Chains A and B, each alone.
Chain A
Amino acid sequence: MFHAEKFIEKTILNLQKEIKGKALIAFSGGVDSTVCAALVNKAIGKQLIAVHVNTGYMRKNESEQVKQMMEDLGLNYRYIVASKEYYTALKGVEDPEKKRKIIGEKFIRIFEKVARKEKINYLVQGTIAPDWIESGGGLRDTIKSHHNVGGLPKDMKLKLVEPLRDLYKDEVRKVARALQSQVSERQPFPGPGLAIRIIGEATPERTRLVREACDIVEKEIERASDQGLMERPWQYFAVLIPIKTVGVHGDKRAYGNTIAIRAVQSVDAMTCHYSTIPHDVLDTISTKITNTLKEKVNRIVYDVTNKPPGTVEWE
């Protein structure tokens, strides 16, 4: 069995041996990077610098909350707004693997800049098992290049430290609970963010649409599960499909995009079953999204694919 306390003890000792001097941690505010930061913080204290990048593809108010969290945790942190850079880099890019690689490289270039300025040699990442498994390499096929593994540029000079490499999400949560972390039950959110929840080009305008839709899906599902109407899914969000269909808005023809609702049950992300959301809840989500996004979105679909054959995220 996996023992969180033993893992914490052993990892802190290893980190103290492994890291000489300062280290930088890529901090998204999710379970993996927060647990990782807590462990490294216990090992090397103020020698650790947390860096959060607002890529422009974060969820509603997310980066501000992450900033507050770094403050609350007493981390030595840097908050970097780079949304313009990311939007420019992803201009015209439709291929999901290209998106992931561009985002992965951009993260590293930003970290390198901080590292050069502050004389840091180590990059700590909250990489977990599915990240490197699905990124492929050697015998293993590439399912998708996770930004923190398959998306790393080859010429990166920072030394990688990845204490959670052998863990799955449920095990990271156990560590988080043992550390009494507030984020232990937070749903996963991918590093490339909303960019891979937009099929096709991830423009600022499309990002705005999917951000709004994700916010509605999250709020309604959380409300329904808090009221006991359904089990809280493992992960739940919206995907923007820029395929236009015909609708009718107040006696007027509409021609807008499609949003897919995705929610899955899982333990470790390696297999997932789609979640059963009650029709009343789907109904509320559908009405709220179409009424909020009006002429931009006039059709909502519900994804009923398991993994395999699908993956959780669409890209």
Chain B
Amino acid sequence: MVRIYVIDNGGQWTHREWRTLRDLEVETTIVPNITLFKELQKENVQGLVLSGGAPRIGLNSTLGNCAEYLDKAAFPILGICAGHQFMARYFGGMVQPSKLPEFGQVELTVCVDDDVLFRGVPKKSVVWESHNDEVTILPKEFIKLGESENCDIQAMRHQKKQFYGLQFHPEVEHTQFGEQIFKNFIRLCEE
């Protein structure tokens, strides 16, 4: 059984991320974002999900020890919403208030052909959103994986590390291929 922890940044759907992982037979626990990296190492964590957060924290907050995880982890990390925004900021990108925030149903367009995280996900699919801010400048070492009409950077990946960021929420029931995305992430963590 692969072990993937959910880092709680205070999102409404943190527990949903935990549930999705558990439903896919992952050994998972929700831990506060002030957990030290060495404590995660001690428990042989093989992957992390950085949850979304309380309002606007993606914009300028430090998100507990998330920086330490991004600095030290050799395993895959999936940042969702505020977790994604923080990842972008940490690697030198920029996050700003959205000109048109997205809430609810949105069409995602995947703009690469061969990415592991989007294996089995069609070029266009329905995802659900809930954000006031967004990544406006992609960090240098990242490539863009997906976009929507009103948000240019819906998904991104580090070029060398297995760090992914998603603005939309793969963990909620109404995101069409959310479970597939989680399955792909779990496979990455297993390798």
Does A268 make an interface contact (CB < 8 A)?
yes
Q: Are A271 and B128 in contact (CB under 8 A)?
A: yes
Using known A-B contacts A2-B23, A271-B128, determine if residue A308 contacts B9 with beta carbons closer than 8 Å: no
Does A270 make an interface contact (CB < 8 A)?
yes
Expressed in whole angstroms, the minimum distance between the Cβ of A267 and any Cβ of chain B is 4
Q: Are B103 and A129 in contact (CB under 8 A)?
A: no
Expressed in whole angstroms, the minimum distance between the Cβ of A108 and any Cβ of chain B is 25
Using known A-B contacts A1-B25, A134-B12, A270-B13, determine if residue A308 contacts B103 with beta carbons closer than 8 Å: yes
Does B93 make an interface contact (CB < 8 A)?
no
Does B150 make an interface contact (CB < 8 A)?
no
**Chain A residues near B10 (CB, 8 Å)?**
138-141
Closest A residue by C-beta to B171: A270
Does B174 make an interface contact (CB < 8 A)?
yes
Proximity string of chain B (111-129) to chain A, C-beta cutoff 8 Å, 1 when within and 0 when not: 0000000000000000011
Q: Are A308 and B104 in contact (CB under 8 A)?
A: yes
Does A168 make an interface contact (CB < 8 A)?
yes
Q: Are A268 and B12 in contact (CB under 8 A)?
A: no
Question: Could you tell me the distance between the alpha carbons of A166 and B8 in the complex, rounded to whole angstroms?
Answer: 15
**Chain A residues near B94 (CB, 8 Å)?**
none
Q: Are B172 and A271 in contact (CB under 8 A)?
A: yes
Q: Are B12 and A133 in contact (CB under 8 A)?
A: yes
Query: Contact partner of A141 among B15, B54, B105, CB < 8 A?
Result: B54
Q: Are A139 and B53 in contact (CB under 8 A)?
A: yes
A: contact size bracket:
20 to 34
Q: Are B105 and A270 in contact (CB under 8 A)?
A: no
Question: Could you tell me the distance between the alpha carbons of A143 and B33 in the complex, rounded to whole angstroms?
Answer: 21
Proximity string of chain B (167-188) to chain A, C-beta cutoff 8 Å, 1 when within and 0 when not: 0000011100000000000000
Does A47 make an interface contact (CB < 8 A)?
no
CB-CB contacts below 8 Å: A92-143 with B:
129, 133-134, 138-141, 143
Question: Could you tell me the distance between the alpha carbons of A306 and B180 in the complex, rounded to whole angstroms?
Answer: 23
Does B55 make an interface contact (CB < 8 A)?
yes
CB-CB contacts below 8 Å: B86-136 with A:
103-105, 128-130
A selection of 19 A-B contacts at a CB cut-off of 8 Å is: A1-B23, A129-B19, A133-B15, A134-B12, A138-B10, A139-B8, A139-B33, A139-B53, A140-B10, A140-B54, A268-B173, A270-B13, A270-B172, A271-B173, A271-B174, A272-B174, A306-B105, A308-B128, A309-B103
